[in-house]
Amino acid sequence: MDKTANPIVLEAKGITKRFPGVLANDKVDLLLYEGEILALLGENGAGKSTLMNMLYGLYHPDEGEIWIKGERVELKNPRDAIDRGVGMVHQHFQLVPVMSVAENVMLGSEITRGGGILALSEAERRVRELSERYGLEVDPAAIVEDLPVGAQQRVEIIKALYRNADILILDEPTAVLTPQEANELFRIMRELTARGVSIIFITHKLKEVLAVADHIGVLRQGRLVGIAKPETSTEASLAEMMVGRNVILTVEKDEAHPTEPVLRVENLMVKDDRDHFAVKGVSMAVRAGEIVGIAGVQGNGQRELVEALTGLRPADSGHVWLENTDITDFSPRKITELGVAHIPEDREKHGLVMSYSLADNMVLSNYYRPPFAKHYVIDRDVINEQGERLVKEYDVRTPSAQTPAGNLSGGNKQKVIVAREFSRPTKLLIAAQPTRGIDVGSIEFIHNQIVAQRDRGVAVLVVSAELDEVLGLADRVAVMFDGHIVATLDAADATRERVGLLMAGSVEEAVG
């Protein structure tokens, strides 16, 4: 099925966009055909989100033209884009957490009973109608913050459809989804294209691109370096196009040589935000020199477990030992000082101070100690020096180490956290979703760094929703289901199928 015969609905011609010190887009040309899925690939900071924000009227190109449905357009704000049928689901959801689904959907294009009075039930009916027509299951009266991410994403899509979008931009929609939710999203995307909607789809997961795209555009350092067809591409060829060199997509590591246990967890019980038990009696150990991976569908207690281990959440009962110290309910600072490094799941909330410079962010855990501070006075020079060094070492794409962290692209933010956590002596590394939203080149880099830590004798605990990541990295795989560790397997026994079954909660089948 060749869709190039279809008319062009959107065209970018020679788009250039500069930020202070950064050429984010450099004369980019892009074509989107009606009813097709155009996948957009590129390293972190390649300029994908920037380009999409311009097509949605949030940013304004410095040079170049945008054509929509055969007409040259000047998109001054999102309103202009919405009026021309462009809808966008942002990398970070743009939903008001305390409002209902229907309120969020109609916001800005409200249905009224006249006189500015909202017709809420009418809006709920519209949402229900859209959700039935496109198979986007969601309760219009639910409060958004109570919904799982997958459902929030469906709300975002309904939001676009409600505004009659026929050009839909999805910026990394699968980064926060479980594999099941992602498959559901692909079904919805196919349903939409069958009805004539055209989609631009950004992702870092090459498998997904090959599975759903009609065309593949690749950006590198702001430039469009090629258009590929999935039929004639492989993961390796796409990775090379993105990064400009050969990328090793599997983790390369030698056998582990574990020694003494560093982390021991005994019967740990932890409650979630709603006061229900999320971790229901977990016991486990991680030894120096090994990587233990926790596999599991998101929401089975992994987040609460990690938060309890790092002091961010009180344990209800049970103990956490770091070597011979009982660190249960120690403060995060104390735990950090004892040599625990943490790559948090939510980098925006727990990882970085967005308004601080990169250099400052890189000393968040030890700014108050020598060499960064002497007698309560901070030594700027040392901090800046270390910032510049780490930016180079970890290949963070930024104009300088003085740039505020908030200006970086998603993947580069993650690299800053990794740089900070790996740059000081550690005994235990806890990494939650360490490569979420990261490009293949950087995944390779971060994985190598994690393995290097292991080989240096650090005990490593990796929690990831990506089964491939856990299987690739871990020397032992623990599977978490419903607040319990239901099985711990040696890497050799941890086949995809077996771990998959355990993740779904069927212990007997997996063992038998």
Partner 1 sequence: MTSTTVTTAEKPSSRISGRTILIALLVAIGIAIVYYYIVDPTATTSVLAGTIRQATPLILGALCGLIGERSGIINIGIEGQMLMAAFVAFMVNVALGPIMPLGLALFLGVVSGILVGALMGGFLAWMSVTLKLDQIIGGTVINILALGLTSYFYVIGLTTRGKLPTFALGPLADIPLIGPVLFNRSPIQYLAIILVFVVQFALFRTVWGLRTRSVGEHPSAADTVGISVKMTRYMNVIIAGCFAGLAGAYLTLESVGTFERGMTNGRGFIALAVMIFGRWTPLGSWGAALLFGFATALKTQLDFMGLNVPPQLTGSMPYILTIVVLAGFAGRARPPAAVGQPYESE
Please report, as ranges, the residues that interact with ligand ATP according to CB under 6 A.
19, 22, 24, 42, 44-50, 91, 397, 407-411
> Is there binding between residue 100 and partner 1 (CB under 8 A)?
yes
Of 114 and 512, which has the nearer Cβ to partner 1?
114
Structure tokens at 213: 């795209």
Kindly state the smallest distance separating residue 32's Cβ from ligand ATP, in Å.
17
Q: Which stretch binds Mg ion (CB under 5 A): 60-68, 88-96, 156-164, 361-369?
A: 88-96
> Is there binding between residue 44 and Mg ion (CB under 5 A)?
no
What whole-number distance in Å separates Cα of residue 167 and Cα of residue 170? 10
Kindly state the smallest distance separating residue 29's Cβ from partner 1, in Å.
23
Kindly state the smallest distance separating residue 298's Cβ from ligand ATP, in Å.
20
By CB under 8 A, name the one of 99, 236, 312, 504 that touches partner 1. Answer: 99
What whole-number distance in Å separates Cα of residue 271 and Cα of residue 216? 44
Given Mg ion, ligand ATP, partner 1, none, residue 58, with its beta carbon under 5 to 8 Å by kind, binds: partner 1
Kindly state the smallest distance separating residue 94's Cβ from partner 1, in Å.
4
Omega within 30 of 0 (cis) for the link into 434:
no
What whole-number distance in Å separates Cα of residue 327 and Cα of residue 422? 21
Q: How far is CA 133 from CA 126, 129, 481, 502, in A?
A: 11, 6, 34, 35
Q: Which residue has the tokens 């065209």?
A: 11
Of 153 and 300, which has the nearer Cβ to ligand ATP?
153
Write down the H helix ranges in 353-474: 358-361, 380-393, 410-422, 440-455, 467-473
Angle, CA 397 vertex, CA 394 and CA 401 arms, to 5° = 80
Of 409 and 453, which has the nearer Cβ to partner 1?
409
Kindly state the smallest distance separating residue 444's Cβ from ligand ATP, in Å.
15
What whole-number distance in Å separates Cα of residue 189 and Cα of residue 180? 14
> Is there binding between residue 96 and partner 1 (CB under 8 A)?
yes
User: For residues 411 and 352, is the Cβ–Cβ distance under 8 A?
Assistant: no
Q: Which residue has the tokens 């390649």?
A: 46
Given ligand ATP, partner 1, Mg ion, none, residue 408, with its beta carbon under 5 to 8 Å by kind, binds: ligand ATP
Binding mask 147-166 for partner 1 (x = CB under 8 A): ------------x-------
Kindly state the smallest distance separating residue 117's Cβ from partner 1, in Å.
5
User: For residues 185 and 105, is the Cβ–Cβ distance under 8 A?
Assistant: no
Q: How many residues bind partner 1 (CB under 8 A)?
A: 31
By CB under 8 A, name the one of 11, 110, 139, 482 that touches partner 1. Answer: 110
Name beta bridge partners: 428: 340, 459
Please list every residue from 485 through 504 that binds partner 1, using CB under 8 A: none
Kindly state the smallest distance separating residue 168's Cβ from Mg ion, in Å.
16
User: For residues 352 and 342, is the Cβ–Cβ distance under 8 A?
Assistant: no
Q: How far is CA 483 from CA 188, 302, 344, 435, in A?
A: 31, 8, 19, 23
What whole-number distance in Å separates Cα of residue 52 and Cα of residue 314? 41
Binding mask 372-411 for Mg ion (x = CB under 5 A): ----------------------------------------
DSSP for residue 304:
H
Kindly state the smallest distance separating residue 153's Cβ from ligand ATP, in Å.
16
What whole-number distance in Å separates Cα of residue 431 and Cα of residue 343? 5
User: For residues 499 and 295, is the Cβ–Cβ distance under 8 A?
Assistant: yes
Kindly state the smallest distance separating residue 223's Cβ from ligand ATP, in Å.
12
Q: How far is CA 131 from CA 98, 118, 322, 358, 412, in A?
A: 21, 21, 49, 42, 35
Q: How much is the CA Rg of the chain, to the nearest whole Å?
A: 24
By CB under 5 A, name the one of 22, 40, 45, 49 that touches Mg ion. Answer: 49
Given partner 1, ligand ATP, Mg ion, none, residue 364, with its beta carbon under 5 to 8 Å by kind, binds: none
Burial class of 304 by CB neighbour count within 10 A (0 to 12, 13 to 18, 19+): buried
Structure tokens at 260: 């003494």
Given partner 1, ligand ATP, Mg ion, none, residue 24, with its beta carbon under 5 to 8 Å by kind, binds: ligand ATP
Kindly state the smallest distance separating residue 448's Cβ from partner 1, in Å.
35
Q: Which stretch binds partner 1 (CB under 8 A): 92-100, 196-204, 484-492, 503-511?
A: 92-100
Of 52 and 288, which has the nearer Cβ to Mg ion?
52
Of 107 and 504, which has the nearer Cβ to partner 1?
107
Of 24 and 418, which has the nearer Cβ to ligand ATP?
24
- Contact positions toward Mg ion, by CB under 5 A? 49, 91
- Contact positions toward partner 1, by CB under 8 A? 56, 58-59, 77-79, 82, 88, 90, 94-100, 103-104, 106-110, 112, 116-118, 120, 143, 159, 274
